């Protein structure tokens, strides 16, 4: 079962993500990042690749897409905040 990140794990896991452009979401235990692409086709292709990983890991992002911009928010609803799944998916999204 997935658990909410401990204070120690937060420093280890979240610090590299925050350095790579992820931000803490004000008012909730979540991280967010905005991705910019060349055009809508590139953004949608990225979302499709991301969706395959999200489905494989059964961990689905909150996201919003307008033209070439994709805004992603990650939080594990089952634990009421950030978990290792969020960090794992964030790293994968950055690598796509």
Q: What is the CATH number of the domain that holds 62?
A: 3.30.1360.20
End-to-end alpha carbon distance in the chain: 26
Number of folded domains that form the chain: 1
pLDDT at 2 (0 to 100): 87
pLDDT per position as a tens digit, 83-93: 999 999 999 99
**Inside any domain, residue 4:** no
Residue 73 has pLDDT above 80, yes or no: yes
Model confidence pLDDT, tens digit, residues 4-30: 999 999 999 999 999 999 999 999 999
Whether the model clears a pTM of 0.75, i.e. scores above it, the answer is: yes
Residue 90 contacts by C-beta under 8 Å, 6 or more apart in sequence?
A: 17, 22, 31, 33, 74
Question: Is 5 inside any structural domain?
Answer: no
Is 54 part of a structural domain of the chain?
Answer: yes
Does residue 1 have a pLDDT over 80?
no
């Amino acid at each position: 079962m997935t658990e909410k990140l401990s204070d120690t794990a937060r420093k280890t896991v979240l610090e590299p993500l925050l350095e790579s452009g992820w931000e803490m979401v004000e008012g909730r235990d979540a991280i967010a990042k905005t991705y910019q692409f060349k055009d809508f086709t590139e953004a949608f292709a990225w979302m499709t690749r991301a969706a395959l990983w999200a489905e494989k890991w059964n961990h689905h992002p909150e996201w919003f897409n307008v033209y070439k911009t994709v805004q992603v928010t990650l939080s594990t609803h089952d634990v009421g905040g950030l978990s290792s799944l969020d960090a794992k998916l964030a790293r994968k999204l950055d690598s796509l």
